[in-house]
Structure 1
């Protein structure tokens, strides 16, 4: 189930973010970020939106969504999806991404742009492509993967 994040959800969201970021495999965020920094970055105020995916009242994933850029870029949505390690491969990422796309469409955005999809994150790339996203380009070597070395970051796009 996908629902709006509530004030009391942060203690259940933070471990997911901390784990995904410190793995350094899929998200280009600073692994040394503090919990306070993470909360400010993730829990964005309206008109942005933050959601959680729950299974049996356990938070197993989260996403935030927002205008990709202010002003002249505000007609394009963006967002970030993170799934708890114990829930990967169970469709949680698909549910969160589908919700993000539905929010963007319902909010009148013209497209969704993911700015930095790690090229070796094959599960995410396949998921996004299955939902109609295309890769606009790859910044070669823009992400330092802990075991693969320098790998590309994709810009992925979905016309709405």
Structure 2
């Protein structure tokens, strides 16, 4: 699997699994039913951040966006979001993208990485991030309306890099 910086031409393919993920409503609080043009600014991260794609040969099977968590005095902490094509889940795509993001944040000089809203019932994601060194530093109770589990918490997860 290769990971590279996303090009404008990659967006249409990313949008296919972005749409599936957002419309399912299980992992992100992004708006559902977005058109390709409405969704683009939600995923395509401008500098100083970046969006990347994970490739199996020439096929895009995942994507991540990363950058500063906050502007100004909060810009020394990174954040990120991750998507894996449902047809390719369970193959280590999320782990590879997570490892890429952690290395990128270190190289860019960030002091830490904060994930603001990891759905508490998304056990595979929580387990993955913990296995990569993230800690749950707090949970906002009932902050996410999951279509199957009802109101569940959103974890704030953090990894110190320095």
Structure 2: gaps of 5 or more residues: none
* Mapped partners of 2:36, 2:145: distance in 1: 22
Task: Determine helix, strand or coil for the equivalent of 1:63.
Answer: strand
* Mapped partners of 1:12, 1:148: distance in 2: 30
Quick check: 33-42 or 98-107, which moved more? 33-42
Structure-to-structure mapping, 1:71-110, within 5 angstroms: 71-110=72-111
CA RMSD of aligned residues (A): 0.8
1:28 Cα deviation (Å)?
1.4
Task: Determine helix, strand or coil for the equivalent of 1:28.
Answer: coil
Partner of 1:32 in structure 2?
A: 33
What TM-score results when the alignment is normalised by the length of structure 1?
0.97
What TM-score results when the alignment is normalised by the length of structure 2?
0.96
Structure 1: gaps of 5 or more residues: none
Structure-to-structure mapping, 1:1-160, within 5 angstroms: 1-160=2-161
Runs of 4 or more above 3 Å deviation: none
CA displacement 1:14-62 (0-9 Å, x = unmatched): 0111011011111111113332121112112221111000112111100
* Mapped partners of 1:67, 1:21: distance in 2: 22
* Mapped partners of 1:23, 1:56: distance in 2: 27
Task: Determine helix, strand or coil for the equivalent of 2:23.
Answer: helix
